[in-house]
Chains A and B, each alone.
Chain A
Amino acid sequence: MAEQINPAVKALTVLIPGFLLSFSFDVLTPLLFLLFLQVYVLFFSGIARKRWLLLFPPFLIAAAGFAWMAMLYTSSNFAGGDVLFSVFHLDVTSGSLVVGISLALRSLCFVSLSLLFVLTTDPTRLMLSLMQQAKLPPKITYGILAGYRFVPLFRHEFRILRQAQRVRGVTRVRGWKGRLLQVKRCAVPLLANAIRRAERTANAMESKGFTGSGERTHFHPMRVTGRDWRFFGLINGMLLVVFGLSYYFGYLRIFGIQVGG
């Protein structure tokens, strides 16, 4: 169950493949990892399958678009092989096909990891864990949490602002200039209110004895247990296995250079 994993460890876990996978430009490595991630999410993560199947597929379309673009404009260092077909005088070779599909699969891996994180992480627990495990200064942590608390209020304020302007007969101007004016009319009062509120909130925090010092006790202590590291080991261990497999089968390419095989 990914929900109970310590958020800071979970963030680290999903970031590492984000860095390492960026080295590979072959098809097999990201494909195997993507398959593993899908199996993990669907059967072991505790995310409702229906929810995942609703959220994930739209990214397939975006990835396909990215693959198409990468295929058309591949650098000559990467686009070896025979010409398969051409569009608008741009040749698609077997090399560029590989790069395009690889980049798309890679981005799908990143999306899977990010969604896995976002869907199973409580915002407040994330901030507390970043403070207690990742040593983010309490000043920043509670500053961010204070701002985050006002999100529902901003929505409310935005609605009131629009209504107030309509009551006073602020008319819509057509065209680009009007659109810009509209944005300004909303953005400046919203920001001005936010600034006022920031000042009041900070004063309130300080008057109640918040010093922002790092030596403090915690009401909700966040702990790292063996289970968190097992999760870390599973995801990143599989990444290494995947790299190993694609090296073994002779597919691994680091920045377009064939490794082994």
Chain B
Amino acid sequence: MNEIQQEPKTIRESLLAVFTLKELKLKEIVLMSMLGVVFGFIYLAFYFFGQGLRNILLPIGLAPFAYEFIFGIWFIVSIVAAYIIRKRGTAFWSELIAGTVQVLIGSPAGPMLIVSAAIQGLGAESAFWMTKYRNYSLWVLVTAGAMAAVFSYAWGLYHSGLIALAPGLLLATLLVRIVSGMLLAGVLGRWVSLSLARTGVLRGYALGKEQQRERRAS
């Protein structure tokens, strides 16, 4: 069985494993791509939903919050993929792939979307990296969602020029985005993955195997 992998010993080795994808099998990569396609459509739907929300909130001056409430949904693919596959680099690459797929489908955001997807993915990945890819409890998933929010916010400060906005507003929007990341990516992502595991299609992946073991034990 090639399930037992050599643990990276140094930080350099483990970072290398994240970026080179050595541990991932082709079927796991195609799975990430398929998730990217399905969530790509969901992301696009939420983009229009956010536009609508902003138009409602614009006259009362709360427009900056429109996207923050739903921002977490854009991190969900990281959490779902990492929770199902449980290998180094899944959170990062799945988000990157989802971003690329959206560009292929024809998202107006263009190549810059791939860059922002990579940054969000790195945020989520950092949470799993800190647990050395051993812990996939709800708390770790929620932290991953929060980290993705923090990373994407830092990018927005620079790229969208949010840094020119009032500090109080920035703090408030950041907090809303973090909570959104925790709930819409962390909690919802876990729930989606578990619903999928119940259908039995994940038997070939880490999450499905864990569920089977638990069922046998009980």
User: Which A residues are within 8 Å of any B CB, using their own CB?
Assistant: 11, 14-15, 18, 22, 25, 59, 62, 65, 68-70, 72-78, 87-88, 90, 99, 102-103, 106-107, 110-111, 113-115, 117-118, 123, 126-127, 137, 139-140, 143-144, 146-148, 150-151, 154, 184, 187-192, 194-199, 201-203, 205-206, 210, 212, 255-256
State which of A75, A205, A206, A255 has its C-beta within 8 Å of the C-beta of B166: A75
8 Å CB contact of B104 from A123, A203, A210:
A123
Partner of A72, one of B29, B30, B61, B170: B61
Q: How far is the CB of B66 from chain A (nearest CB, A)?
A: 10
List chain A residues, Cβ under 8 A from B25. 202
Tell whether, in the assembled complex, residue B30 and residue A146 are in contact, meaning their CB atoms are under 8 Å apart.
Answer: yes
Which residue in B63, B64, B159 is a CB contact (below 8 Å) of A22? Answer: B159
Q: Which residues of A contact B107 (CB under 8 A)?
A: 118
Say which residue of A59, A65, A140, A203 sits within 8 Å of B93 (CB atoms).
Answer: A140
Contact indicator A114/B111 (Cβ below 8 Å): yes
Q: List, in ascending order, chain A residues with CB within 8 A of B169's CB.
A: 73
Query: Cβ of A88 and Cβ of B27 under 8 Å apart?
Result: no
Picked from A14, A74, A203, the residue with its CB within 8 Å of the CB of B165 is A74
12 additional A-B pairs beyond A69-B61, A191-B38, A195-B202, beta carbons within 8 Å, are A14-B110, A18-B115, A75-B167, A75-B170, A143-B26, A144-B100, A154-B37, A184-B195, A187-B42, A195-B196, A199-B27, A210-B26
**Is B63 touching A87 in the complex (CB atoms < 8 A)?**
no
| Interface membership of B58, Cβ < 8 A | yes
Contact of A147 among B36, B165, B170, B204 (CB under 8 A): B36
Cα separation A87 to B61 with both chains bound (whole Å): 9
A92 to B74, CA, bound (A): 33
B108: chain A residues at CB < 8 Å are: 59, 111, 114-115, 118
What is the bound-complex CA distance between A62 and B52, given in angstroms? 11
Give Cα A99–Cα B163 distance, bound, in whole angstroms: 11
0 or 1 for each of B71-104: is its CB under 8 Å from A? (1 = yes)? 0000000000000000000000100010011011
**B14, chain A: closest CB distance, angstroms:** 19
Find out whether the CB atom of A15 lies under 8 angstroms from the CB atom of B111: yes
- Residues in chain B near residue A110, CB distance under 8 A: 110, 112
> Which residues of B104-136 have CB atoms within 8 Å of chain A's CB atoms?
104-112, 115
A15, B159: Cα distance in complex, Å: 11
Q: A22 to chain B: closest CB distance in Å?
A: 5
Are A143 and B33 in touch, CB under 8 angstroms?
yes
Contact partners of A72 in chain B: CB under 8 A: 61
B15 at the interface (CB under 8 A from A): no
**8 sample A-B contacts, Cβ–Cβ < 8 Å, listed by A number:** A18-B112, A22-B158, A68-B63, A75-B166, A99-B161, A114-B111, A147-B37, A192-B199
When the two chains form the complex, which single residue of B27, B29, B36, B164 contacts A75, counting CB atoms closer than 8 Å? B164
A65 touches B101 (CB 8 A): no
The answer on a CB contact under 8 Å between B30 and A201 is yes
Give the residue of A107, A150, A256 whose beta carbon is less than 8 angstroms from that of B164: A256
Q: Is the CB of B104 within 8 A of A148?
A: yes
Closest residue to A119 on the B side, CB-wise? B106
User: Cβ of B112 and Cβ of A114 under 8 Å apart?
Assistant: yes
Query: By the criterion CB–CB under 8 Å, are B30 and A147 in contact?
Result: yes
Q: Please name the residue on chain A nearest to B63 by beta carbon.
A: A69
Complex: A11 Cα to B161 Cα, angstroms: 22
Which residues of B (179-207) have their CB < 8 Å from a CB of A? 192, 195-196, 199, 201-202, 204
Judge whether B154 is part of the interface by a CB distance below 8 angstroms: no
Q: How far is the CA of A135 from the CA of B95 in the complex (A)?
A: 19
Counting chain A CB atoms within 10 Å of each CB, which of B26, B35, B36 scores highest?
B26
